[in-house]
Structure 1
Amino acid sequence: MSRVAKKPVALPKGVELNVQADSISAKGPKGTLSVVKPAAIEVTIEDGQAVFVTEDAALIPLTGTLRAILANMVKGVTEGFERKLELVGVGYRASMQGSDLNLALGFSHPVVFKAPEGITITTPTQTEVLVVGADKQRVGEVAAKIRGFRPPEPYKGKGVKYAGEVIIRKEAKKA
């Protein structure tokens, strides 16, 4: 069996795991998340840990994937996930207008982005955007959409980039 699937998921205090025939839901202080579960994969709760078992050899890789998704769900409903974005460029600014993110990215118009349900967007400074939520996939998806408005370019490094992302710079043309 998959090495990932063999490792049980520890359930911290305050996290409630509900295993149905076709789904698994995790409820904690940060919210509730659920995922679809194949019928051939058995999930049991033993000693405060979720254990995964399957008899079908073809579903072994899927069991490891389900275990990783469930571990992210448990972490999400207890701690949550966050992605930090940085705006690099003269005049590039971010501000919040209610629940909408207003971005000035060098276009002739401001870019307005509505925060989806379950995601909180904040701007600690004018050049930083913080995307926070319980669902790791949705946090990453929202951060990627914001980055997609003006991805960093390789010549001057201007654009929206993830915090800690290294932009490989190109040398300008020589005459």
Structure 2
Amino acid sequence: MSRIGKKLIIIPSNVKASIDNSLISINGPKGELSYNISKLIKIEKIKDKLKLTKNYNHKKAQAIHGLSRSIINNMVLGVSQGFEKKLIINGVGYRSQMEGKNLILHVGYSHPVNIKPPENIQINVENSTNISIMGIDKEIVGQIAAKIRSIRPPEPYKGKGIKYIDEKIKRKVGKAGK
């Protein structure tokens, strides 16, 4: 029994939701997102709330029930508030800069690393070590942040690399001398 799938999705007053067969479109002040719902799930709009129910009672429908509810709730939050991930660059000489919409990273390689974000993602750089990724789609914002972090993940000895702002790095003790 999905506890998440049973929760109603509350639609704020500045957000509009429309259901067309298995396609749900959410439109808000930040933009518009749409999602194709599985045939195992039925969605209905009750005043300013969305309710998801399972058409069948088996394991696959159970899994998709909670997943669909989470995705649609994230769509509603995204078009009304947006999502943001923050990254920090640690390391001597490590820095980042914006060139147009592209992010240029100088993180210890022989060449700068160039990242071109998708059209609905905005990247900002503050004081060359703080990077913020903003957008309305939580999945894409998280994926771009993970891609940037994977260019130079933090290493455990000195903590150099790119990490999330709230990430804790487990430090290791270096080699002991005589």
Name the counterpart of 2:98.
96
| Aligned residue type for 2:132 | L
Name the counterpart of 1:20.
20
TM-score by length of 1: 0.96
Equivalent pairs, count = 175
Residues 1-175 of structure 1 correspond to what in structure 2 (within 5 A)?
1-58=1-58, 59-175=61-177
**Matched-pair contact (CA < 8 Å) for 2:42–2:55:** no
**Matched-pair contact (CA < 8 Å) for 2:103–2:115:** yes
SS in 2 for 1:57: coil
**Matched-pair contact (CA < 8 Å) for 2:90–2:160:** yes
| Aligned residue type for 1:48 | D
SS in 1 for 2:109: coil
Distance in structure 2 (CA, Å) of the matches to 1:40 and 1:55: 5
Distance in structure 2 (CA, Å) of the matches to 1:91 and 1:125: 13
What's the offset of the Cα at 1:158?
Answer: 0.1
Distance in structure 2 (CA, Å) of the matches to 1:114 and 1:141: 13
SS in 2 for 1:141: helix
**Matched-pair contact (CA < 8 Å) for 2:25–2:34:** yes
Distance in structure 1 (CA, Å) of the matches to 2:40 and 2:155: 47
**Matched-pair contact (CA < 8 Å) for 1:16–1:27:** yes
- Runs of 4+ residues deviating >4 angstroms: none
Give ranges in structure 2 of 5+ residues lacking alignment. Answer: none
1:144-173 CA-to-partner distances (Å, cap 9, x unmatched) read 010011000001000000001000011112
**Matched-pair contact (CA < 8 Å) for 1:21–1:39:** no
SS in 2 for 1:143: helix
1:115-170 CA-to-partner distances (Å, cap 9, x unmatched) read 11110000022100000000000000000010011000001000000001000011
TM-score by length of 2: 0.95
Identity among equivalent pairs (%): 43
